[in-house]
Structure 1
Amino acid sequence: MATKSTVFPVPGAILKAVVCDRSATFLLQNTSTLSNEDVRPGDASCDVVMKGSEETAAAMPCHRSVLSCCSGYFRTMFSIGLKECYTEEVQLENVSSEILKTLIDFAYSLEISVHKDNVMPLLAAAVFLEISPVADACWEYLERHLDETNCLMIYRMRHCQIHRENLAQRAWKLVLRHVSSISHDSDLLELDEDTLIRIILSDNLNVDSEDDVLDAVFRWSHHDLTERRSALKEILQFIRRPFLSSRSIKNNKYKTVVTDKTVDEQNGAVVELNELSIQDQATNREMPVSSLQQRPRKFYDSRTVIVCVGGEVDRRGWAGLDCMNCFDPVDRAWSVWAPAPYPVCGAGLVNMGNQHLFLCGGYLPSGKCKTLHVHRYDLKTNDWEQMAPMQAARSFFGAVEVHGLIYAFGGYDPNDKPLCSVERYDPVLNRWQFMASLPMPLGSFAAAAHNGRIYTFGGCTTSNKVTGIVFCYDPPLDSWSELATMPTNRYLCSACIGPSGQIYVIGGRDRPAGSSLTCVEAYDTSTDSWLTKGDMNTARCCAAIVHVEGTVFALGGFGINSNSSSVERYYEESDNWTMHESPLPHPQCAFGCVTMQIRNG
């Protein structure tokens, strides 16, 4: 989590408007006309002393009326005839003095500071005491700072499952994505049996091999052998035994379980697993996948790479590229794959299931024309195949995948006029069909798909006006809606989903023939709001942006006077961009760029 604290002001008038109606009877009964602008904690008019849970907790003189205006819990406590209505001192058994003081200060000042050191206990106390503005501020903080270091902790929160389902789902996806690193954290060791089983059951568990899953299970059981001995045998049945190596069972770190005479039940479970795994490997490797245990996970022995296709060498000269380069962020090395069928820039590149890449449309510098051609790259054969063409030739358009279908929208037609048409491709039928059009003709915008919806950011309109407009497309409804406008009007910009689920929009230009931008803004789909992020080190338009394992990469683009080969990466926690030591093989812009999960070896 970030170490910065965030202040969330809550307007007093709004808070009072919410609570006064609910607490009006109580305030009349007490004939109190005090408000939190009139009084301060500790002054002579205080009528109750609050204490935290510690035995030596310090006394905090307060006003019942102020606490009641802030908290539904206190409002009930002080109004239904309980002893706390009359006793001079009230001690809360499950709220620490430090957190209680913070909440009391909020009741009087209507401001709260939320940071990584207090967010969890503050949230628990705010939910318990029914202080909605504070709870909302804590939820907002967690939404903004969700990452692999805290996703399991956040997912395990009971209140998160109940009150913030979207946050719980995002946290769950991060747990599955980063399970290899999380498996060594104390949070995993504290998991209950049901949650651990749910993790193990997922096909989307991002592990190099099933040995990693078994390793995590044994680490969990070793944390408390006495209490977890009975659970181990049940959990082991969910291990996908045909994909275990025989070496993993015989590894010395597991012998302590096998030879521990105090855990006979575990002993039997491990011996059984050992025998079955070897048998499964001998007999089931070639059998059809027919059960959960025999089904491989999606990410066995794999890694995420960045694939770049086509583009321009020199934006001023329109010299096209047909290259296809792959970058491995772990090895920090570039490799060359099969070139595209022809030099093309401003095309759409879409990853379909980590098996195929679709190259759609674009501008052909050799013929100085737009194309509607579509080609499919097969990862297994390292070759391209021509597919059904789009119904409209277009370049500098949006192209994304949603639920196994490709959507191509907007862009420029052969006469360089912005388009509003939208078409959808079904790879099973190899067919395109028109869908509901964009609300206005638009080209050179950024586009991204997130949670089953499609978003467009900025772009140029028919009058060549640069806009900051944002549209959202709902595929099931086949309809578009307008959302909160970007703070910066821009076109030739780029977008991707960041580590915490926000959509990052980088670079571009804010006016025709203007200079490239360094500014970065992030859109929060849950709140329909924008945040300003740290600037890039290099101004870029027609660049690429992708997210790989918690890091955002910005690649290439047109800079101040020429194309760039530079690559920089962004760390969400520090809100900072740093130059990467492995640039593109050559300067380029307006190229297709996606991430792809590929097998090792």
Structure 2
Amino acid sequence: MDINKHLPKEWEEKWKAEKEQRKKMQAEGGEGLEAENRKLQWIKAYNSHRMGVKIFQALKDFKESLVLTDLTLSTADGRRLCTHSSVMAAVSTLLHRQVQQRDKEKNAQKEQSEADLSCPDGELCVSLGPEIEFAGLASVVEFAYTGTILGLTGQRVAQVQAAAHALEASRVLEVCSEKEEQQFKVEEVQRERKIERKLKESLQCIRQLWMEKLGCDVELEAEGQSFHHRVILAASSDYFRAMFTSGMRESHQPIITLLSLGSVELETLIDCSYSGTLPLGWDSVFQLTCTALQLQIQPALSLCLDFLHKEIDANSCLDVASFAEAYGMPALQELAEDFILRCFPEVAATPKFLDLPPEKLYDYSSSDSLCVPSELAVFRAIVAWIEANPKERLGLAKQLMTGVRFPLMTFREFREVRAINLRMECDGEKEVDLYGAALKEFGFGLSDSLQKCRVRHPKDTLLVVGGDQLDPDFGQRLPSRQLWFINSLRNRTGLVKEVEWRLLGEMPDSARFRHGLAVLGGQVYIAGGCDYYAKGDTLKSAYYDPVQNTWQRLADMHEFRSNFSLVVRGEKLYAMGGDKEINTNLATVECYCPDKNHWFAHPLDQASSGYAATVWEGEIFISGGFNCKYQCLVSMFLYHPERGTTYLSDMSQDRAEHCMEKLTCRLYVAGGVCNLRKFYTDQLFCESYDPMTDCWSSIPSLPIPHVGAASAVLEGKVYILGGYSQEDYSESALLHRYDPASLRWENMGRMPGPKTDIRACVLRLPPHLRS
């Protein structure tokens, strides 16, 4: 079987060249090898918690179909069970010894060129004594393949214990003694996780057999040889399943040679089938993905694709897009090309950008979805690409420049176009009349107003819920029930940006502001807040909206609370602190479990409101806020439901009523009020926090105040929406966006509806709501 028949020629040549280059650097040493070694140090271990479940489901199917079974267990009444020796040896010490003895005999027979086994083809038969009932034996086998035993009650417990004692299956005995399993009252989620852990433990035991070369019945030869279990290979790979179960000659061969396949890649992928872990880095992921595709090793392929989705960056996105196109992966290609479009300035600054094919460069530069600070950035990128090889590329300049929308440039930006065009005419062997065509387009513009901007439709959208508006006359204030979302982002002339807002619907019952908002499982959860300004207008009710304009009332929180954060940790919602009424804030935390539809209460170190909270790596970070005396805080701490509070490094300046968002590996803090003087004043200073080093760094300050604003992260940028100014009590009708790559805040246009005490989140809306 030719496993390389689907390998694109250009990728095969590329990897051969890289392999030769690495060998050359190893021979020569020096700076090149040091650089390569530094590159190899960046490796992440990707894990699949469900891999054990998937592998054992396939093994269970094999057992039921009598595929690749090599162990027969029988009871005194003549009833038999056909199983796999490697699976049963993972739970039974007795069968582990039997496999050792079988392998020892097979090796001795191999040396003496004899074949006198009690069972054909190295199969193993084990008969149990009369004290073992078939039902007990079947339960032990059930545990080996599923990680659980169903209906383990009454008399059956004794039967299972007897079989487990005979087979020396200590883990089965542990299950028998667990009260939760006997009564079968474990929550469904906990039960599934327990099964995952038990199957993972079994898979680790089978991996230990593989490392000790026990029960291995086939040698895969690729630049050497290694030993493996046919059944595990077949369970994790459609390629090997076909090889071992469809009557091909390889199904009986003890040694199988895989030509043109690296032993390192093969061993790494097969180890993943046993361990559920795959070490990945940019130097190896494409080769491993290619091999996983060829061998159809789905567990490892899933981890490779997960890496490509999560770790894609400006330096790798072009390679990912090219790889996905070559191997016919439309979803991955779409993701990579979307990354290129929304991070175009950073991608254009990489060396790989200069090697783009001209048709790809034109596709990206002319796309409506291209996200750039201005059209000058597009023009500069094309010029840099041409100047990388002017002799061959100058003739393509005129066509490529049609992707630049010159009417969106300012006069100042267009001066640079003229200067670069004249330089290209003077330096190039051919004269290229870019300036004339550009001037004509710039001067006359475009007739269709929609063509005068680039319109980008993010796949996810930013949703704004509720809010308030400021007015000295409380009777004129109008709290909002509305839900607005950003449907598109638009780049206009120069640095001018705007967003297209659309109304999604309205909340049921009363309006609310200073509420909690979170997204869990694609559902929007809204809790607490205020519906007016009197003492008794704080809420404790909660709703969720399944984005189909149908609302469901949830269980009430235990406390009335407003001016708090609602965050998602794991599969639960956490509502922390907040104001209960005027000048009274809370020190309680409530946890909501959607499956049970009720709230659990937990304590907080101190009463707090007006803080900001976000979740990073499963930990809840809380910054600033008001203490019980309503003084602004500088604190930053971790809150854990079981471990309590862990204080971290303080912020540089105090703040409350501010925003904090997680972006890549940093937390960004912006807006709010502070106690710079003896009274509250606007906090324009912004900073970011590194959880790995527990250190703060300053970032550019906000251009205008944003007190009581909303915030969210959309397409790798931090959005601060609305709010007001504490100093003159005017509303901030604008939204600003912070780009960590350019280190600056961008004005993205105006807000719809109410501007203050709003809340925002990011989610994916059904297409029919955006069409």
Secondary structure of the corresponding residue to residue 309 of structure 2: helix
Judged with a 3 Å threshold, the aligned counterparts in structure 2 of structure 1 residues 188 and 490 are, in CA distance, closer, same or farther, namely same
Q: Choose which of 455, 460, 469 in structure 2 pairs with 1:304.
A: 460
Match of 1:186 in 2: 319
Judged with a 3 Å threshold, the aligned counterparts in structure 2 of structure 1 residues 402 and 200 are, in CA distance, closer, same or farther, namely farther
Q: Choose which of 444, 468, 486 in structure 2 pairs with 1:327.
A: 486
Q: Choose which of 409, 421, 432 in structure 1 pairs with 2:599.
A: 432
Specify every segment of 5 or more residues in structure 1 that has no aligned partner in the other structure, as ranges.
1-52, 54-90, 101-119, 128-153, 160-169, 210-222, 224-300
User: 2: CA distance between counterparts of 1:171 and 1:549?
Assistant: 22
Counterpart mapping for 1:33-48 below 5 A: none
User: 2: CA distance between counterparts of 1:124 and 1:182?
Assistant: 13
Regions of 4+ moved over 6 Å: 170-174, 178-184, 199-202
User: 1: CA distance between counterparts of 2:283 and 2:694?
Assistant: 25
Please state if 1:488 is matched with 2:653.
yes
Match of 1:16 in 2: none
369-378 vs 344-353, greater mean Cα deviation: 369-378
CA deviations 1:326-350 (Å, max 9, x no partner) are: 1124463111122123221110011
Contact 1:541-1:558 at 8 Å conserved across structures: yes
User: 2: CA distance between counterparts of 1:543 and 1:126?
Assistant: 42
User: 2: CA distance between counterparts of 1:515 and 1:349?
Assistant: 26
TM-score w.r.t. the length of structure 1 is 0.53
User: 1: CA distance between counterparts of 2:39 and 2:505?
Assistant: 55
CA deviations 1:18-55 (Å, max 9, x no partner) are: xxxxxxxxxxxxxxxxxxxxxxxxxxxxxxxxxxx9xx
Contact 1:491-1:509 at 8 Å conserved across structures: yes
Judged with a 3 Å threshold, the aligned counterparts in structure 2 of structure 1 residues 390 and 317 are, in CA distance, closer, same or farther, namely farther
CA deviations 1:288-309 (Å, max 9, x no partner) are: xxxxxxxxxxxxx982111111
User: 1: CA distance between counterparts of 2:505 and 2:659?
Assistant: 25
Secondary structure of the corresponding residue to residue 448 of structure 1: strand
**1 or 2, which has the higher helix percentage?**
2
538-547 vs 367-376, greater mean Cα deviation: 367-376
Q: Choose which of 698, 720, 734 in structure 2 pairs with 1:566.
A: 734
Judged with a 3 Å threshold, the aligned counterparts in structure 2 of structure 1 residues 523 and 485 are, in CA distance, closer, same or farther, namely same
Contact 2:462-2:760 at 8 Å conserved across structures: yes
Please state if 1:542 is matched with 2:478.
no
User: 2: CA distance between counterparts of 1:576 and 1:403?
Assistant: 33
CA deviations 1:171-229 (Å, max 9, x no partner) are: 987842687999961355469x9xx99x9999xx96999xxxxxxxxxxxxx9xxxxxx
Match of 2:751 in 1: 584
Counterpart mapping for 1:414-425 below 5 A: 414-425=581-592
Measured after TM superposition, the shift of residue 474 of structure 1 is 2.6
User: 2: CA distance between counterparts of 1:478 and 1:316?
Assistant: 45
CA deviations 1:474-507 (Å, max 9, x no partner) are: 34x3422111111111111111112x22111111
Q: Identical aligned pairs, as a percentage?
A: 21
CA deviations 1:82-107 (Å, max 9, x no partner) are: xxxxxxxxx972315xx99xxxxxxx
Specify every segment of 5 or more residues in structure 2 that has no aligned partner in the other structure, as ranges.
1-20, 22-26, 43-279, 286-302, 339-354, 356-456, 491-498
Please state if 1:381 is matched with 2:507.
no
Q: Choose which of 568, 583, 589 in structure 2 pairs with 1:401.
A: 568
Measured after TM superposition, the shift of residue 567 of structure 1 is 1.0
Contact 1:343-1:366 at 8 Å conserved across structures: no
Q: Report the AA paired with residue 439 of structure 1.
A: D
User: 2: CA distance between counterparts of 1:406 and 1:458?
Assistant: 21
Judged with a 3 Å threshold, the aligned counterparts in structure 2 of structure 1 residues 330 and 494 are, in CA distance, closer, same or farther, namely same
Contact 1:95-1:125 at 8 Å conserved across structures: no
Counterpart mapping for 1:232-311 below 5 A: 303-311=459-467
Contact 1:178-1:206 at 8 Å conserved across structures: no
Q: Report the AA paired with residue 95 of structure 1.
A: E
Match of 2:557 in 1: 390
User: 2: CA distance between counterparts of 1:313 and 1:121?
Assistant: 58
Match of 1:359 in 2: 526
Match of 1:514 in 2: 680
User: 1: CA distance between counterparts of 2:543 and 2:319?
Assistant: 45
Task: Point out the structure with max Rg over C-alpha.
Answer: 2
TM-score w.r.t. the length of structure 2 is 0.42
Counterpart mapping for 1:19-168 below 5 A: 93-96=29-32, 123-124=38-39, 155-157=281-283
Judged with a 3 Å threshold, the aligned counterparts in structure 2 of structure 1 residues 428 and 538 are, in CA distance, closer, same or farther, namely same
Contact 1:363-1:369 at 8 Å conserved across structures: no
User: 2: CA distance between counterparts of 1:523 and 1:171?
Assistant: 30
Please state if 1:502 is matched with 2:652.
no
User: 1: CA distance between counterparts of 2:304 and 2:673?
Assistant: 34
User: 1: CA distance between counterparts of 2:705 and 2:764?
Assistant: 29
Secondary structure of the corresponding residue to residue 369 of structure 1: coil
Contact 1:468-1:489 at 8 Å conserved across structures: yes
Measured after TM superposition, the shift of residue 371 of structure 1 is 3.0
Q: Report the AA paired with residue 737 of structure 2.
A: R
Q: Which has the higher contact order (CA 8 A, sep 6+)?
A: 1
Match of 1:465 in 2: 631
User: 2: CA distance between counterparts of 1:478 and 1:126?
Assistant: 34
Q: Choose which of 714, 722, 727 in structure 2 pairs with 1:556.
A: 722
Contact 1:182-1:188 at 8 Å conserved across structures: no
Judged with a 3 Å threshold, the aligned counterparts in structure 2 of structure 1 residues 317 and 368 are, in CA distance, closer, same or farther, namely farther
